[in-house]
Chains A and B, each alone.
Chain A
């Protein structure tokens, strides 16, 4: 929040008199108002000669604050909102759709975690190809490791359910135009892009979905994590920004994370304990050595038991 003096042009009641009164109570910005006891402040205005104006000023600041918080929702409204998103986005792998009881849903942040070369990027590409070819909507792909491969998307389109439909170049072009890829190598650039997305997203019409895939988010966060608290704060605010995009703008967000060594020689997901609770769903992917069979298990899900696993094969 800005210091009080910058509110003066829009709200003339917050004049220098009011600001001086607030300053005498150590209040310099709207945030300080939130921390102060408003009743005590109102009582202290009675002792001033100008008490009516000061009280008006306080109520104006109160209305500013009330305009800034999220609206309260009751359980029925939440249920209606959830039921509106009944249809899951198919991932392209039948067994995974069965495991996730429908596939990926809008409004959720899903994290794919797994060791190197376990199939995370392939899954992301397959989901993107699926959304594009079945005309479910559009996909925005943020790629941090130059692993987005249009050639692979082309091959995956051939493997889709109705390859005859997309034989002509014109149709294929329209399908592939639905996937937009942007290379990101810096967390600050990612923040800018996400804010751009927030302001330019038009509200979804009908059943069209918007997918956002970030592959991989851990390579952007690892360079800043550990050097003081700021890196940590950035990581958590990135997580919240993605959740906000998912929930408020009805996107389906998919991110990938890698694994690091833990005690006892096991592997654990990177980015630490604070990131653990940020995604709504965490899925662990692993691949048997030198084969195309992968296995996916649920690490965290709002309503499906953790530990359920399924095998699928990458073609």
Chain B
């Protein structure tokens, strides 16, 4: 009987646990939302929004009426003004002229906490002149995600949008030189340097980002809360915004990977992966242990492939060491994710592992096989880079892009 009881005990102990059970049951997001909720931008009432819509319309007039309306804007308390103006530009139907006044006012003196909601306007705002004002507002707070809009506006054929193009040129001319660097000699050079810094490191020399604290922190957590949504639109919006923030967002996103919510964990990793090599460059520069932090998510089977993707995309120091075990020990999904990630950051260290994995292709998806072929080729060894059967053309193109943008990761620090 004792033996029977032992067996029963043993059986109950070995019942399989769900692989994606949270490690600690923490709610990193809720804790942050609770902590910062009192400093969020106040919500503007419908009545206030309607009233200010009329005032903004009046502000588009010349003469006494327009001046008086603008004066009313001046007289309102700053945070309340930001709140009303943001709510107005987020409204579907508002005349473009009113919208431009609202955006330019936000560009002139909006507080840092407007940044997340303004970045989201880049997704929806179709008025090019307004996009220039958004870019100005964001730049003032050390965010360069509007620079792409400036480049797009200037890429249209001349006189297609003369007003917006003129505003974009003025925007570029207004960028002050940051150093005696030769590139800073002309305005376009300064713009290109800013854009390059933003794209590669998520920093903007001469335009320091405000610390993420107080109302700005509250707005960022509110935006992150959308990642949990079941309807996809809020998720899309949050990923859009968070992946366009400065490098300071990385520790916040990493903190979210500790949350017990599967969607939050997954999408935080995904957002980091979308920021990609710029996140890795920022982390290496700031001595932030990004790979180590991301590797903690590898213990959670439900987000493991996404963690592998993020580690490879960021290519921060130590990435290769974290990825290699999954190429040899993982299941089909994990091996494929590891191969994809290694394509983006692998060095000659992983060459023999890649070649060996290519010898047993059945355990990899066609995506992984193609990634390894490109990796082996990039590392200088002989291999056919023929796409394997079953590989979708879009996935082939994605990996071709990764191969072109490869950023071999440094050895782990310390």
Tell me whether A and B are bound partners.
no
B residues touching A (Cβ–Cβ < 8 Å)? Answer: none
A residues touching B (Cβ–Cβ < 8 Å)? Answer: none
